[in-house]
Structures are given as C-alpha cells and as structure tokens.
A and B are shown apart, each in its own frame.
Chain A
Amino acid sequence: MNWIGRRLPRLEDPALLKGGGSYVADRASKAAAVCFVRSPVARGTIVDIEIPSDGIIFTGRDLVDVKPIRPILHRPDYVAIGQPVLPVDRVSFCGQAIAVVVADDPALAEDVAEQVFVDIDVADAIIDFEAALALDATPVHPDAASNVLVEGRMRTQGLDKAFADAAEIVTLDVRSHRQSAAPMENRGGLAEYDAASGRVTLTASVQMPHMLRTGIADTLGMPESDLRVIAPDVGGGFGQKMSLFPEYVVLVWLARKLKRSVAWIEDRRENLLASAHGRDQAFSLRGAFAGDGRLLGLDADLRSNIGAFSCYPVTCGVEPLMAFAELPGPYDFAEYGVRSRGVTTNTCMMAPYRGVSRPTLTFSMERMMDVAAKRLGIDAAEIRRRNLIKTFPHRSPTGLVYDEGSYLQAMEVALDAADLPAFRERQAAMRERGQYLGVGLSVFSERTGYGTPAYAARGMEIVPGYEIVDCSMDPSGDVVLRIGSSPHGQGLKTSLAQLVSDELGIEPQRIRIISGDTDATPYGWGTFASRSMVIAGGASKLAAGKVAVKLKTIAATLMETSPDNIELKDGWARVSHSNQAMEIGALARAAYHQSHRFKGLLPGLHESAVYDPGGTFSNACHVAMVEVDIETGGVRIERFLVAEDAGVLINPMIVDGQITGGVAQGIANALFEEIVYDDTGNLLTASFADYLPPTAAEIPEIEIMHMETVSPESVTKAKGVGEGGAIGAPAAIVNAICDALSPFGIELFELPATPQRIREALRRAGVATYA
C-alpha cells in the first residue's frame, strides 16, 4: 500500500482536539510570572526609571553585559543596527520592553509593573516611512543617517529601449498597509533553571528552536551546551515566531540570575504592539507594454518599512530583498530595473510573515496586468496568456531559475471551473438590478524549499537552508525520526510519516517524529519559507532510504537472495516472484541482535541524511468572485477558486488545509486587517476589536484544484505550499472588486480594500452620494 497521496487524518489531531495538546502556557503554571514594562511612546530619551522598592525588577542597566541583537548581511548597502535587549538610553518604538518584573503570579506582576515609572524625554517619532526617506528627515538610529538600512538595485541594459518601444506605459502606485501575523497562540516562554547542572531549559512558542539557542547563547555569552530550547505544541507562527526577540534573552538571563524558573506568556495586546509586523510597503511600478499586451520591461521603486530594528537571523533585508528578486513573478520578460529599500522608522520591527513581500508584489503585478489589459482592450486572461512563463527552466531577469511549472495550465483550469461566460451573464443581469458582481484573477509563483545557496546569495551571515534528519528503526521495527525542522500546527509529522512509510514499508502509525527539542534533534532551521515538506521531507526520505537499503541487505542475507529482489511493503520484506517473506520487525531485531551475521554492516538501524536543495517554484491561479455593495462599500466573496501546482501531494488533505488557511489570511490582507499608528507612533489597533482578523463567517468555502508537475529539484517531488494562499488572494479579490466597479471607472491600489476605502472611491466617483 502506498501512503503518499492519501488523505490520511492527521496523527497530531486526537491529542489537539481532546485537550491533550501541550503549549507553553500549559507548562508554565509553577514558574514565577514575568511582566515587561513597555515604552508608552515611540521615541525618546530615558531620563530615569523609578522602581518600587518591594519587587524584583530589572532594567537595561542591570543587563549591560548582554550584547545587543545585531543581525548581519554582508552587503555594502546594509547598515547593521543593534537592538538592546532592554534599552539604557533611548526607546525606539511604542511597546518596546524597557524593564522586567518578576512576581508570584501574572496579576501581581502587572500590579508591580504599574508602579514602575519611566521618565522619558519624548522626541518626535518617525512613523511614516515616506517621511523617513525625506532628505531632511531625522535619523531613527544615529548609525543610519538616511534611514535606509538595506538597498537592492539593478537595471538591465535594454530597459530604456523597452520603454522607448512601448505602445503603452502603465504607471501605478501600490500601497500595502501594515499587518500582524496574529497567530492563535501568542508568544511565550518558560525558562527553567536546573541547579544540578546549571543548565537552563527554555520552552518557547517558536519556529526555530536551534536558531534561538544560538542567538541567546551568543547574546548572553554562554556556551550553547548550557541551554536547551524546546518548542512544544505551537499554535501557529506564520513567520512571526522565527525571530530572536529580546523577551526570550531576558527570560534565560533571569533564570540564571535568580536561579529559579520564570515564565512570560504574552497577551494579545503585547503581541499586536511588540511582536513582529509585516507588509508595510509602497511600490511604484512602470510597465512597458507592446501593443499586443506583451510586457517588455518593468521599472520599479519599492519601499518597505522595516520598523525600528532588524530581525534576527534573517535581517530587515527579508522584505525588500524578496521584493527586489521576485517582483517579475510568473511573467516572462527580460528588461527589469529595480530599486528596493528597507526604511527604518519608530515602529514595531518587521519580520517575515507568510508570503513575505509576495502578497504585495503579486498584488502589484496583477493590478498592473488588469490595468494594462483594460487600456489595450485585451481580456484579463488573454494578457496573462501572452506573458506567462511557458518554457522551462526559465531564467528571470534577476537570475532566478524556475523549474518546471504549470503557469498557463493552472490559469486555464481555474478559468474553466469558474465558468466565466455564465458569470458574465449573471453579472450583466444583476447590474441591471443595481447589484455589482466582479471577477478577479491572480497568477503567481511561489519560490519554496530553497537551501543555503539562496540565502548565501543574499549575503546573510547566518546562512540557513539545509536539514539534517536522523532515522532509527528499533528492534521491534518501529521508527523514530529526529528532525531539525519544527512544525507549528501544519501536520508535518503526518506528512513525514507518510513519506517514510513508503520508504520502509511500514504503517505511518509506527513512525514517531521528534522535533522542537535541541537536546533531542539534529541542528536545524525550523519551519519557515514553505521549506519543511521539501527540505525536511527530502532529508527524511533520504535517511529512511538508507535504512531501507540496510533492511533489504539484511533481508537478502537471511532469505538468500539479492537485495534488488527485496520489496518492503505492508510491514513485510518480500522476495519478488516468490512466496518468501519476512516481517520487517524480524529484520530489525536481527539487525540489533544478530548483527554478527551481516558482514560489512554496522550493527543496528540508524542513519542520517542531509538535504540542501536549490529550490523549487510552486505556482497557482486564484479566481475570486465578489459582490460589492455600492452604498456601504461592503464586499461579499461569492466564490473563491484555487488551481494549485505544488508538485506531488504527500497528503492532499493537509495541502488543502494549507491553501485554505493561506487564502483566509489573504482575505484578511485584502479586506480586513490593518495595523494603524497615530502620528505620534501610538498603536490604535491593540486588540481584536480594532485589528480585525476575519472569522469563519467571512471566509467562503475555498474550491481547490490540483496539478502535480514533477520537479527534478525536489527528491520527494513535492513543492512547498505554505504561503501560496496568502500570496495570491489579495490580488484576486481586489481585481474582482475593480471588475465589479468597472461601470464607475474605479481602480483600487491599496490593501486592505476596506469598506471605508471602497466607499470613499465610490463617493469620489459620485455613486450613491445622496446629494
């Protein structure tokens, strides 16, 4: 029986659904409670911190020996900024931790924190990143005079000619407002001190436990061996939980200083205030189009607000450099000019958030395609047909090499399923009745599963990418897989078990996967960038494959045949074209207990493998059908279709779950979620009453179709699929809104397209003004 391709219910779910999950807060009840005192202002000089006499309180002055968090890119345009774990002299954003309180329980800790008085000499904050770019702008950091911390530039030789030859030049200014990944579980950490060994165990809701261990050890100047990091069940991360945050450094410092266990469980207000944000971007594009709709060249000026600090380890280059490299997306054109800047401001730090720049760049390119199509009198699908990548491998203007994909086919499949002719009929009929339907397309590529070469190309000092997997079969034939990747709710353990099952011929239930414990797993890079299935999956397959080879050798010896004649399936090693067979458990027992019989083999069944691929591109087409209420600006999503090509599907149900969740966050990006600061840098969206993740009521059923292009770039034949849903949905939805409002000539270039913004555009167009 093959396990790959089956909709196997997730092995993780029984515990999670019956309250058997174990999250940081579940483990923290016995520890002292930690509360951070946070800056009430965005910028200023710390004059004095008055602390009550009866409490355990520390400030930056107590932690002067702790090094700042200072991630590095080896690029001439990069300005490294250090983030003090607790600042001594100045605060740089509203919500920055400036003191820490330890008390017996969280309520008492808050009581003490309220009595800490911070005297700050407030200065004018730089909140808007366009203002930060002004020539006379005050520097946010003394070390970065221009407020630009990273800048990528390139220009192909033929760009000017492309614009000279253009029949139509489309110019657009796109704005994506700031968002939070808003994981269900906030951040949190429990630091336990072991008096016997002097070691600290940090249990934290994180995506990269090994990276956290390295980062904390470096910052505190302690050996990594004195620190164990555990990521238990994690309730979503979406990139927000990748970075090294000051709070975790402080927790380990406290545990060592006080020689006791301390825990900090972040609340939602803190999460919205001081965990990482993303997507605060302004892109200005000029597209040179030939009369037949072919895109000849693209010239782009991209600005990304990176906030007050650079995130560790991926740095503040993550959004600007992703945008720089991947703006061309699924389109085949040669001439490209780009300037992409990361701009620092007195706002919360930016870090990766599901999609990283690609929601904004896909939105930009797809809006541009629709605008160009209208100007040139070409159908929206047709202009894409003329521009999509059709031959592989494809080399983009920035040098990225796209493996085999199905850009055109995915679009055609989605369009067929959407039945556009019927939709257009209904659209026309409903317009007669004053109801406005629209359809929007979004075609995009998703670069996934990339190893060290891609990160090295960015000049990162810490180059992530590979994964190491240890695979052991015990004497009863059950398997333990130790992975450096660290799932946070995606069902990775089920998918890996299915992969390994097919290699070893045993049921997935017999495979236990150990992750998220630096004492028990090989060094790895955790989970981000749609990498786990491709890279940890690849390493798992390779490691299990080595165990399989050994099992076959043992089976061949015991059954006196050649290993080539052995097939591992359904718990048995069978000799082909014969009735001879042995249970795999019996072979495993022999491997350990009869090892003297197998000449040239090491005893036992334990193998390791490393996988470090170059990367593979998934692709998809999203189609949104919406109804816009012209009087209220409200948008109802009628249908949402996804034609996805993520290569071979290991567990289609889990893949569908990834796509559905991603689209839900894409809908949030398109219509609902927006972090808003006032002019002084005070956060106005500090709860879910004002920051608006959509609920189940706002998310339609997502209709998903799959293509499975087999890529030689992935040993599992699987491509990554973690981010695509979030990448494509905003463009499809806003294109649909603009199609609905085309009778009024309305074009929107801002995310989210809130009812207020839609209504504003309608009012300007003189629609339903009650004048």
Chain B
Amino acid sequence: MKAAAFDYLRPASLGEALALLATHKDDCKILAGGQSLVPAMNFRLARPAILIDINDLDELDHLRADAGQLKIGALTRHAAFHRPVVEGPLGTLLAKVVRHIAHYPIRQRGTFAGSLSHADPASEWCLVATTLRAEMVAKSARGERVIAASDFFHGTFTTALEPDEILAEIRLPIMTPDWRVGFYEFSRRAGDFALGMAVAAAKVEDGTIREARLGVGGVGDRAIRLGALEDQLVGTPASSDVIDSIDRIAREARGMIEPSGDIHASPEYRRDLIAASVKRALTEALA
C-alpha cells in the first residue's frame, strides 16, 4: 500500500500553479489537504504523474464575509468551521455539519474546496453547497469563471472543472437572522460517510415560511436539491401544524430518490434513511 512514483511540485504563486496545470492537465493532481487523494494514491486507485502542492499559495488562503456572501478560499480547512465563521444561521449550520466530517485530525488538514473538487456523493460539504446554492469560482491560466452548484457536480467524483482549472473559492449566500436551519446525518460510526443525510433551511416571516432550502445526500451519484418540496414548504405556517407537513414531505422525499445499494445500505434502506433525515432536519429547523 505504497503510492506509485510521482513528481512533486510546489509552486510559489497562483500564477505559477495555473501555468503548471495548463501544461500538465490530466497528468497532475492538486494536493491541498490530501485526505482523500493520498489514501487513493496509496491504494494505487489514483496514480497522478505529478502532484501540485498548493499549500504555499496565500491567494487561496482566505475565509471572509463579503457582500452578502461567505467566501471560502481553497486552502480553508474543515476545522475552520468548528466555530461559527459568520454570525447568524449559516455559521451555526456549518458548525453543526462540520462535526460529521471524518475525525478531528482529518478536519485539521482536509479542505472545503478539496471535498467539493473530489465530489464524493456522501460528502457533507457537497450537500451544503448544492442545497444552499453555492457559487464555485474556477481559475485557470485562461481566466476565471463562476459555476453554479447545480452545474458543478456531474456525478461520483466528477465535476465541471476542466483539467487546467482549480477551484479557487466557494461562495455561500449568508442567511439573514430570520432563516432557521437543520441538519441530520446517519452513518455507521462517528465520522463515517453518510448513508443518508439532509439539510433544511427556511426563511420565516410573520410565522410563515417565505423561502426554503432542502437537500439530501448519501444517495445517488451526487447531492440532490428537492426543489419541488422546497416549493411546497413556501407559504406553510411555521407553527405546530408544521409537523403534519413534515411527515408528508419526508414521505414524498422518500419517493423522489432512486438510490443505489451497497453492502451497508440497500436502496430501500436508503429511502428509509432519507425520510428520517428529511424529517429530522426539518423538525430541527421548524418545530
């Protein structure tokens, strides 16, 4: 379980990194935290000829609120979210979610952007980015483009990123204080990938849901935003009778997904977990 031979490059500037990417394209991999890439290399499932280590690139090491968005640079580690990084519901939600990502030592090195680029369908950050309609900023020697979350994830381990592009920044919309949030995940052990999970958020004004976000992960080849159920929630009173709607929505969520099965969870079991996750995330947000 030792990696195949590779060259290791450590550019000193983003420009240099992008030039290397433009030259080597599919032959290289970007190393940030390495928490998924390095094990895959040790199993020889990944065999990049060149590793481009971006850890010296200060241009990518930022995390700030700016113009209504939380801007997460490519070198932001999971551990940065242990405490709320921004006031209000978004910071609370991210702090709640991050505790489910692997284990403490892994969270010290692994990065938010690395999770998104890796695009594991059971990744918590991929679910958050999808559900909260993140924007991805991809940079290359050719320039910069912004990709909507709905266009970013193409399937298991595949994204819209071109071989010469780096995911430089993720932008999450900052929620106003009248948003309420909930998250639930079921996994076999603390820190394991989710067998089923859900994120829910609702903007409540005068006791009525005005806007809603609902997404599920750990099923299928990417996180899924349940737009039809978001629409159903809008206009619903966020009061005691919301419980009935939550049960109905959980039931509908169960039917809206087509999960695949593996040794840990059959499709039918995954549907059960999605129903439970949706119910619990919504209950946490609303009840």
Interface residues of A (CB under 8 A from B): 105-107, 110-111, 114, 267-269, 629, 631-634, 672, 676, 684-685, 687, 689-690, 692, 694-695, 697-698, 754-756, 759-760, 763, 768, 770
Contact = CB atoms under 8 A, between A and B. Distances in A.
B276 A631 contact: yes
Contacts of A692: 188-189, 192
Given A107-B4, A269-B1, A631 B272 contact: yes
A652 to B, nearest CB: 30
Contacts of B1: 110, 267-269
A770 B275 contact: yes
A689 B272 CA distance: 22
Contacts, number: 76
A698 B266 contact: no
B67 interface: no
A230 B89 CA distance: 60
B282 to A, nearest CB: 14
Contact of B186 (A632, A672, A768): A632
Contacts of A698: 189-190
A182 to B, nearest CB: 13
Given A110-B44, A111-B5, A763 B268 contact: yes
B48 to A, nearest CB: 15
Contacts of B264: 690, 754, 756
Contact of A269 (B43, B263, B269, B273): B43
Interface in B167-206: 186, 188-193, 195-196
A685 B279 CA distance: 31
A756 B266 contact: yes
A690 B187 CA distance: 12
B2 A690 contact: no
Contacts of A755: 186, 188, 195, 269
A628 to B, nearest CB: 13
Interface in B1-31: 1-5
A632 B189 contact: no
B144 to A, nearest CB: 35
Interface residues of B, number: 31
Contacts of B195: 755
B186 A770 contact: no
B96 interface: no
7 contacts: A111-B5, A632-B186, A633-B269, A676-B263, A684-B263, A755-B186, A756-B266
Contacts of B192: 689, 692
A629 B279 CA distance: 14
A27 to B, nearest CB: 19
A688 to B, nearest CB: 10
Contacts of B196: 632
Nearest to B253: A770
B226 interface: no
Given A111-B5, A756-B269, 13 more contacts: A267-B1, A629-B276, A631-B279, A632-B196, A632-B273, A634-B186, A685-B263, A697-B191, A698-B190, A754-B264, A755-B188, A759-B269, A770-B254
A697 B250 CA distance: 29
A110 B190 contact: no
Nearest to B250: A770
A107 B43 contact: no
Contacts of A763: 268, 272
B251 interface: yes
Interface in B24-49: 43-44
A664 to B, nearest CB: 13
Contact of B188 (A105, A672, A687, A768): A672
A742 B275 CA distance: 24
A759 B272 contact: yes
Contacts of A105: 2
Contacts of A632: 186, 196, 272-273, 276
Nearest to A757: B269
Contact of A694 (B189, B251, B275): B189
Central interface residue in B3, B196, B272, by most chain A CB within 10 Å? B272
A658 B149 CA distance: 51
A760 B265 CA distance: 10
A302 B196 CA distance: 37
Interface in B191-235: 191-193, 195-196
Nearest to B103: A695
Q: Which 5 A-B pairs have the closest CB atoms?
A: A697-B190, A107-B2, A267-B1, A631-B276, A770-B251
B269 A111 contact: no
B2 A110 contact: yes
B43 A695 contact: no
A268 to B, nearest CB: 7
Contacts of A110: 1-2, 4, 44
Contacts of B4: 107, 110-111
A633 B254 CA distance: 16
Contacts of B276: 629, 631-632, 768
Interface in B231-287: 250-251, 254, 263-266, 268-269, 272-273, 275-276, 279
A107 B193 CA distance: 29
A488 B42 CA distance: 28
B130 to A, nearest CB: 22
A629 B275 CA distance: 13
Contacts of A633: 269, 272
Nearest to B247: A770
A760 B44 CA distance: 36
B3 A107 contact: yes
A632 B280 CA distance: 11
Given A692-B192, A698-B190, A756-B265, A768 B272 contact: yes
Nearest to A756: B269
A50 B219 CA distance: 42
A267 B43 CA distance: 10
B190 A695 contact: yes
Nearest to A35: B2
B272 A672 contact: no
A631 B190 contact: no
B101 to A, nearest CB: 14
Nearest to B3: A107
A269 B1 CA distance: 8
Contacts of B269: 633, 755-756, 759-760
A248 to B, nearest CB: 20
A554 to B, nearest CB: 57
A676 B262 CA distance: 11
A11 B279 CA distance: 53
Contacts of B186: 632, 634, 755
A764 to B, nearest CB: 11
A760 B269 CA distance: 7
Nearest to B274: A770
A114 B272 CA distance: 42
Contacts of A676: 263
A723 B75 CA distance: 47
A224 B252 CA distance: 71
A106 B1 CA distance: 8
A347 B231 CA distance: 52
Contacts of A759: 269, 272
Contacts of B3: 107
Contacts of A756: 264-266, 269
A363 to B, nearest CB: 21
A672 B189 contact: yes
Contacts of A768: 272, 276
A769 to B, nearest CB: 8
A499 to B, nearest CB: 39
A106 B42 CA distance: 12
B247 to A, nearest CB: 8
Nearest to A631: B276
Nearest to B264: A756
Contact of B191 (A114, A687, A695): A695
A687 B1 CA distance: 11
B123 to A, nearest CB: 14
Given A756-B265, A770-B251, A697 B189 contact: yes
A106 B189 CA distance: 32
